[in-house]
Structure formats: structure tokens, C-alpha cells
């Protein structure tokens, strides 16, 4: 008895191969454009790096003396500011490139969810950054208060390490404030419901406070509470938002 093996027609393999090649070519083009956006953003932010540094260093001006430990430290400070600032400046364009590549594979429901929550994500990110900058003086005062324990000590702050600390603080607050966007997206696509959020709100509140303690760049209680309390309030507000966007069950 002869066995007959069924195989896919050669044309199907060729079509799939051509389709994969097209996707890879599109991905490469979008990655190149994203790198160009980031490079252009770095150049722009290098020009404005000194005003940005003065803005970030304002809470410590007049309280400590900044000291560069190495000859090349001032250059690397401007370079790091331009790199981080360029990434932030290029994020909207990079996200558009990512959206252009991913959107064809999403369902209509997922596309509507993204269109609904995308504008809110920008507002919440800058709200988080503003909140972080508002609590920055409180955090610096808390650290400076420990200098009283060492009367003979003089603080000469490394500007580079201070800027890294401030940037981490701003980014952590900005990212963590995206919590309502994540919850609304999950509610819109039907993964999360407002009933589940109400049922487990105590567990989630404890988790938010614990997460704030872990991700906060500084270990002062003021900064941790300044992150945990708004996150908890955003979570309770998200219950109402998820209730609005979640699919209605018949």
C-alpha cells in the first residue's frame, strides 16, 4: 500500500516567506527611523542641557556645593542629560513607529482601547513627573537633615550622581502614574473587571504601598508616601473608569 503524504503547495511557502521578508523589512525601516529620532532628540537636548541641569539642581542650590571629581565629569554630565532627554523627547515618535508596526495585527476592540487610553497616558506621565518634582525638595531636606549628626562634615555633591537620582525619581513617578491606563486597557479588552477590583481592593492597596517602597529611588518615608498615596487614589478612580469601558455583559 502506498502512503500519500500531504504537503502544503509550494506557492503557500513562497507567499509566507515573502510576507515574512516584508515584515522584517518594515521592522528594520521603523527601527532605523526610531534611532534617527533619538539621535536628533539627543542633539536638541544637548543644546538645552545646561538650563535643564539648573532646573533639576534648583532644590539644592545654596544648600550644598557641587563638586566634579574628574576632569571629564562635566562633559559626561551634559552627555547623560542629552541622552536621557533625547530618549524622552523621541518617545512620541518612537511610539508612533511601534503603533504603525503593531496596529495591523490588533483586533478592532484592541485598537479602540489604544485610541481611548493613549491621550490619557501622556497626561498621567507628566502628572507623575510634576508630582515627583514637587516632592524633590522634601526628599533633599530629609537627606540633608542627617548632616547635623556630623558637625564637622561638609557636603560636596557629585552633580552626575545627583542628576541620575533626580531622573530616576521623575521616571519612576511618571511610569507608576500610568496605572489607570493599564487598568483601563485591561478592562476595555475584557481581561479585568471592576467587580474584581472592588473585591480585592485591600490586597491591591497593600501591594501598591509595598511597590512604592521598592521602586522609590530614595528611602525617605515622605517620597514613598508621596508615591503610594496618589497611586492608591488613582487605583480607586480607575475602578470607575474600568466600569465605564468594560464590555457590558448581557
In a domain, 6, yes or no: no
Asked if residue 43 belongs to a domain, the reply is yes
Instruction: Please tell me whether residues 164 and 41 are part of one structural domain.
Output: no
Average pLDDT of adjacent 10-residue blocks, the chain of 250 residues:
51 64 85 93 92 90 86 90 88 84 78 75 87 88 86 85 88 88 82 88 89 78 84 89 72
Residue at which a domain ends, from 80, 105, 130: 105
* CB-CB contact of 246 with 194 (8 Å): yes
222 in a structural domain: yes
Shared domain check, 209 and 141:
yes
Q: Supply the DSSP string of 137-148, one letter for each residue.
A: HHHHHHHHGGGG
Same domain, 242 and 157: yes
- Residue ending a domain, among 105, 140, 160, is 105
Domain boundary among 105, 120, 149: 105
Same domain for 78 and 117?
Answer: no
100 plus 193 within the same structural domain: no
List the Cα angle 83/85/91 in 5-degree steps: 100
Backbone region of residue 62 per phi and psi (left: phi > 0; alpha: psi in -120 to 50; beta: other values): left
The verdict on 45 and 162 lying in the same domain is: no
Same domain, 128 and 239: yes
Residues 41, 113, single domain; the answer is no
Residue 77 shares a structural domain with residue 51 = yes
Give the pLDDT score at 213: 83
Q: Domain range holding 215?
A: 108-250
For the chain, the DSSP string reads ---------HHHHHHHHHHHHHHHHHHHHHHHHHHHHHHHHHHHHHHTHHHHHHHHHGGGBTTBEE---STTHHHHHHHHHHHHHHHHHHHHHHHHHHHHHHGGGS-HHHHHHHHHHHHHHHHHHHHHHHHHHHHHHHHHHHHHGGGGG-TT---EE-HHHHHHHHHHHHHHHHHHTTHHHHHHHHHHTTS--HHHHHHTHHHHHHHHHHHHHHH-SS--HHHHHHHHHHHHHHHHHHHHHHHHHSPPP-
**pTM, rounded to two decimals:** 0.76
Do residue 208 and residue 93 come from a single domain?
Answer: no
Asked if the structure places residue 139 within a domain, the reply is yes
Task: Give yes or no: residues 43 and 119 share one domain.
Answer: no
Amino acid at each position: 500500500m502506498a502512503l500519500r503524504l500531504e504537503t502544503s503547495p509550494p506557492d503557500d511557502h513562497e507567499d509566507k516567506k515573502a510576507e515574512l521578508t516584508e515584515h522584517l523589512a518594515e521592522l528594520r525601516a521603523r527601527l532605523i527611523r526610531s534611532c534617527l529620532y533619538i539621535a536628533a532628540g539627543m542633539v536638541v537636548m544637548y543644546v538645552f542641557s545646561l538650563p535643564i541641569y539648573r532646573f533639576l539642581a534648583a532644590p539644592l542650590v545654596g544648600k550644598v556645593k557641587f563638586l566634579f571629581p574628574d576632569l571629564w565629569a562635566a562633559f559626561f554630565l551634559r552627555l547623560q542629560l542629552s541622552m536621557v532627554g533625547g530618549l524622552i523627547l523621541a518617545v512620541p515618535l518612537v511610539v508612533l513607529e511601534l503603533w504603525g508596526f503593531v496596529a495591523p495585527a490588533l483586533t478592532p476592540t484592541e485598537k479602540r482601547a489604544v485610541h481611548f487610553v493613549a491621550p490619557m497616558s501622556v497626561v498621567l506621565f507628566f502628572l507623575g513627573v510634576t508630582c515627583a518634582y514637587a516632592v524633590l525638595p522634601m526628599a533633599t531636606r530629609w537627606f540633608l537633615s542627617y548632616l547635623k549628626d556630623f558637625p564637622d562634615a561638609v557636603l560636596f555633591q557629585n552633580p552626575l550622581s545627583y542628576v541620575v537620582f533626580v531622573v530616576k525619581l521623575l521616571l519612576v513617578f511618571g511610569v507608576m502614574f500610568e496605572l489607570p491606563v493599564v487598568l483601563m486597557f485591561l478592562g476595555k479588552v475584557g481581561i479585568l473587571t471592576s467587580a474584581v477590583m472592588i473585591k480585592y481592593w485591600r490586597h491591591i492597596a497593600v501591594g501598591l504601598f509595598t511597590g512604592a517602597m521598592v521602586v522609590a529611588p530614595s528611602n525617605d518615608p515622605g517620597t514613598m508616601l508621596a508615591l503610594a498615596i496618589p497611586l492608591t487614589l488613582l487605583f480607586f478612580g480607575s475602578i470607575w473608569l474600568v466600569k465605564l469601558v468594560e464590555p457590558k455583559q448581557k
